[in-house]
Amino acid sequence: MNHSSHRPSSHRRRRLVLRAMASLLLAAGLLAQATPARAQAEAASPNPKLPQIEIRAGMHLIKAEVADEPGTRMRGLMMRERLGTNEGMLFVFPDKAGHCFWMRNTLVPLSIAFLDDDGTIANIADMTPKSEQSHCPTRSVRYALEMEQGWFARRGIKPGARLAQPQVFTGGTGQ
């Protein structure tokens, strides 16, 4: 008998909570900010925005789209022309591994932080637009956070810092 059908794993529970929270935040944001022109522009985009969550990096608040399915992880931030202030994308993988990233069809220069399960930054890499150069974590991770290039450096956020998002990271304090 498969016990996972009766009681989801902690990772699966976190993922379900993350999806529900992101959907609620997206719905609230769309209700508060929706205009017919904006809705049309987002629907016509080759890579529309995903539901967002808030992640704390010390005193900084990040609005991160959540890419937690194979298709959304594969598209990432491709074809986007810009990111908003303190906006980024959190990639969520089902398993810890050496998940590598490249920038094919990505127009915005990005920095990527590879994150442990508790939100600790393993390493950060700067990535060049439209490049096929691979950027990989220094150890197996489940999460990666892409922000505009230099975002982490400008805020003094380095490897070893811990990001906080209680529904995603276990034990993160945001320090």
The residue length of the chain stands at: 175
Q: How far is CA 65 from the centre of its chain?
A: 6
Q: What is the DSSP letter of 150?
A: T
15-56 pLDDT, tens digit each: 555 555 555 444 444 434 444 444 444 445 678 899 999 999
User: In the predicted model, what is the mean pLDDT of residues 54-77?
Assistant: 97
Residue 158 has pLDDT above 60, yes or no: yes
Residue 133 has pLDDT above 50, yes or no: yes
Question: What are the percentages of helix, strand and coil residues in the chain, rounded to 5?
Answer: 25, 30, 45
Q: Does domain 3-154 have CATH number 2.60.120.1140?
A: yes
At 14, the pLDDT band (50, 70, 90 cuts) reads low
Beta bridge partners of 162: 120
What are the boundaries of each domain within the chain? Answer: 3-154
